[in-house]
Amino acid sequence: MNHERFLSLFIRHERELAGLARVMVPSWDAADDVLQESSVVMWRKIDQLQADEEFLNWAKVIVRFEALKHRRKLSRDRLVLSDELVSLIASEDIEQPCEHVADRRSAVQECLSEFSFEHRQLLLSSYRYTGGAAELAEQTGVSANSVYKKLGRLRSKLRSCVDRRLSLGIKSV
């Protein structure tokens, strides 16, 4: 496989690989580090890859090993999940078909579009700020408890919408 083809495939699947890394390590910074180290390993082992169709599973295995290596460095931290649990999560993700991820992403986007601008902003901002609901509460001038409750209701509504769309097989147009 040539380097241009590798770069094309890596860029196409980068979000999914980053998601896998994020599941396996405790922070986005750690996930970025794992993805960067994984890309270097992939680049070195590019000759192992025979077909484009093999890329995603091949890359996921490399990301998984790099994440486990990173986790060993963090093993002294009490808040890190056990290697067995992380391996179980990673193996389920590797076996999960890409279409399922794409369908779920599409369902989330469609469901989010059904929310008011204010509710959509609240849902999304809860993932953008590191301070969480307390920071959001301070910015909006309401109590943190109110923000927690409202986010809980909105997330429940979003989850129900996504589950409904996926169970009915509704695709975005």
User: All domains of the chain, ordered by start, with CATH?
Assistant: 3-96 (1.10.1740), 99-168 (1.10.10)
The set of long-range contacts for 37-41, using a CB threshold of 8 Å and a minimum separation of 24, is: 37/66, 37/69, 37/70, 38/62, 38/63, 38/66, 39/10, 41/66
Share of the chain residues as helix, strand and coil, in percent rounded to the nearest 5:
80, 0, 20
64 compared with 83, residue with greater pLDDT: 64
Model confidence over 44-69: pLDDT tens digits?
998 888 888 889 999 999 999 999 88
Mean pLDDT value across residues 128-145: 70
* Cα–Cα distance, 131 to 134 (Å, whole number): 6
Could you tell me the pTM of the whole model? 0.47
Question: Using 50, 70 and 90 to split pLDDT, how confident is the model at 173?
Answer: very low
Mean residue pLDDT across the chain: 80
